Amino acid sequence: MIQYTDFFSRLAEESASRKREFLEIGRIAGRFPAATTRQDGEIAVWCSNDYLGMGQHPLVVRAMKTAIDEYGAGSGGSRNIGGTNHYHVLLERELADLHGKEDALVFTSGYSANEGALSVLAGLMDDCVAFSDELNHASIIDGLRHSRAEKRIFRHNDPAHLEELVAAVDPRRPKLLVTESVHSMGGDMAPLAELADIAKRYGMLTFLDEVHAVGMYGPQGAGIAAERGLAGEFDLVMGTLAKAFGTTGGYVAGPSLLIDAVRAFSRSFIFTTALPPSVAAGGLAAVRHLRGSDVERERLRTNARTMHRMLAERRIPFLSDHSHIVSVRVGEDALCKRISALLLERHGMYVQAINAPSVRAGEEILRVAPGAVHSPADVGDFVTALDGIWTELGVPRGRTERG
């Protein structure tokens, strides 16, 4: 008889350094970034993806409460079987309009949106070749893997390497380009103009993941492509409601013909229960608010720039000053966890250490997110606390890797 417990015991021993430990945390309604934990009392959160604080915004909370009073807690089923609510329809119309696309489709998460859409788009086209940035998110990797299409991986943010790979492929084969606009761990931005130019010259279908950009960049929060005047160069835009929009869920927007194909064939869309109407209503309220308000975006930019400047002055290395994602480079798993623990224990500041497989082993980071809900004084306090721990532990100082 196979000894399953023996196998998993050995696995646990071999991968002990990668064991996931979670801080039990409760965000305090109306006071975020304040939160409570059982062990540490009240703390300040510095690693949330609720970048603009919309998960606490009165308009969003009110919309969700109203929808619960109207329709109850759940959706009642998949979108195909009794689960499509009018809030889903309104949300999809709003998202399509935000991105200037014909149609949009909402999924239960950003992960399922990428996996579900890419598995269909790359999988249904005979002999398709998918070209993907080497640091694309796991959901993109899985979507392309499940499509069973041939994959070519180009070096991170390297248009020349992409073109080299594309030029080597039979021009008659269908081609799909997939990249993120703001990369989730490094915080750097893709060279979208160069990538779009290559895609156009070689007749590629383009799929742009704007998860860490929608709501925060571009006119009305439409993303990096829109900010750079390139929205029309990308056929499909994928986004999330779980970051700038403060709720949960993912979506894909694009031509009706392609969205219809995803709607008809995507397993992660068809075979799962729909978002509760209250969540769709909250997402809709957040999208509508941020289309008309620049206040939150400006606060985010100010806090990110302040943190970039203060870290640079103290020679605490971080990966990129392109965006609001401030990834402080540590490069050692145990040390990264130690810095995180000391920030929490001594200063009540919570920022999670990021290790493999989220980043490569030896490239561990503190992924700091100075959001719109923080004040400039908060940013100063955080950098001062980090600087003191950096000195105490003798962590090497250096320059930012990418400007």
State how far the alpha carbon of 294 is from the alpha carbons of 221, 288, 291, 389, in Å.
8, 12, 8, 35
How far is Cα 46 from Cα 23, in angstroms, rounded to an integer?
A: 13
Beta-carbon contacts of residue 255 (< 8 Å; ≥ 6 apart):
101, 102, 103, 235, 236
**DSSP H stretches of helix in 314-401:** 333-347, 376-393
How far is Cα 84 from Cα 125, in angstroms, rounded to an integer?
A: 28
Say which of 101, 175, 243, 337 is annotated catalytic: 243
**DSSP H stretches of helix in 25-158:** 58-71, 86-98, 110-124, 138-147
Contact 346, 387 (CB under 8 A): no
Preceding omega of 191 cis (within 30 degrees of 0): no
Cross-strand bridge partners of residue 150: 129
Contact 173, 165 (CB under 8 A): no
Widest distance between CA atoms in the chain: 64
Residue 175 is among the residues annotated as catalytic for this protein: no
Starting at the edge strand found earlier in the chain, the sheet holding 34-37 runs: 25-27, 34-37, 41-45, 349-350
Kindly state the tokens that stand for 246. Answer: 């403060």
Q: Which amino acid is at 225?
A: A
Closest CA to 400 of 295, 269, 308, 298: 308
Kindly state the tokens that stand for 198. Answer: 């290559």
Q: Give CA angle at 145 (319, 200), nearest 5°.
A: 70
Q: Which residues are catalytic?
A: 243
